[in-house]
Amino acid sequence: MTAKPNLAVVVIGYRAPPSMIGSVRSLLDQGVALEILVVNSGGGDAKSLLSEAGLDVPVIEISHRLFVGAARNIGIAATKAPFVAFLADDCLACPDWAEARLSQHLSGAPMVSSAILNSHPQNPFACAAYLALFVRRLPGLPAELALRYGVSFDRRLFEKYGVFDESMRVAEDTDFLKRLPPELEPLWYPRVKTIHRNQTRLLGLLVDQYGRGYRTGAYYTGTTPSKPLRLARNTFSDRRQVRRLVQIGLSGAELAFARRSMPLVLLALLAKSLGVYRGARAQLKMAGRAKNDL
């Protein structure tokens, strides 16, 4: 395509996983001119991986590990299109992903968020992971119930409000959005759909949920006065919201399968809650040691 791209998409990779091939290919198949850039950190050879798959896109390799905020910032600085989106290496852009974003940006929306689809809708463990992680981003949710993430941005926002915090292991996008004026809220536009690759086995589900919980607990300990046990209880209480939101955000066979997966959702939330508790306690201990060293 020779048209000048209006949308840059930064693919964020860690150790050049094979899944990155699908992520990049899903962008090349959009049928819209895109400025695609891969930012890979922590090792691996993303350029060779993609070239061997017949994919020729620019790649920036960083030998040490970057948190997502730093990878985002490198991508912002290295691209030029007026709007910028991001895609993780464990995600795929659905057909119409780019065109739907651009339709709203070019109509005046400075930020456009996206819905999430399950990579394995007939796998009970993947379904549990999907609902435990993304129940507030189901495609059938109304705007007042949806979380606005998976956001693409008007580049001018970064020029005015700064870029992402590079030191945060999680929630760098939440931190950036909090810095914006209240009237600048991302548009909920579920026609933009991203597929997240979910765990398909029980052990993988539990390990992944625990790890995500651990990182979340460590983060929230530094941003809220809540005790570790309270944070863990709040996480597990999400099970009440899951049942309600599933009824609203899903339909047909997917809704029926989600209902049957609820026992596994509870197990996933329990593993995540345990991770939150231990992550919060570890962060408190670390903060206490740092205080004693002063």
How far CA 24 is from CA of 29, 63, 129, 146, in Å, comes to 9, 20, 23, 27
The pLDDT tens digits for 26-64 are 999 999 999 999 999 999 999 999 999 999 999 999 999
Listed in order, strand segments (DSSP E) in 89-171 are 91-93, 111-112, 115-118, 152-154
| Res. 215: pLDDT tops 90 | yes
The pLDDT tens digits for 135-191 are 999 999 999 999 999 999 999 999 999 999 999 999 999 999 999 999 999 999 999
What does pLDDT average to over the chain? 95
Alpha-carbon span 250 to 58, nearest angstrom: 37
Task: Say which range, 2-11, 81-90, 117-126, has the weakest mean pLDDT.
Answer: 2-11
Q: Given the DSSP bridges, would you call strands 7-14 and 34-41 parallel, antiparallel or unpaired?
A: parallel
- For residues 246 and 136, the answer to whether their CB atoms sit within 8 Å is no
Both tokens assigned to 131: 């609902």
| Res. 1: pLDDT tops 50 | no
Amino acid identity for residue 23 in this structure: S
Q: Three-state SS for 292?
A: helix
- For residues 138 and 116, the answer to whether their CB atoms sit within 8 Å is yes
CA 270 to chain centre: 21
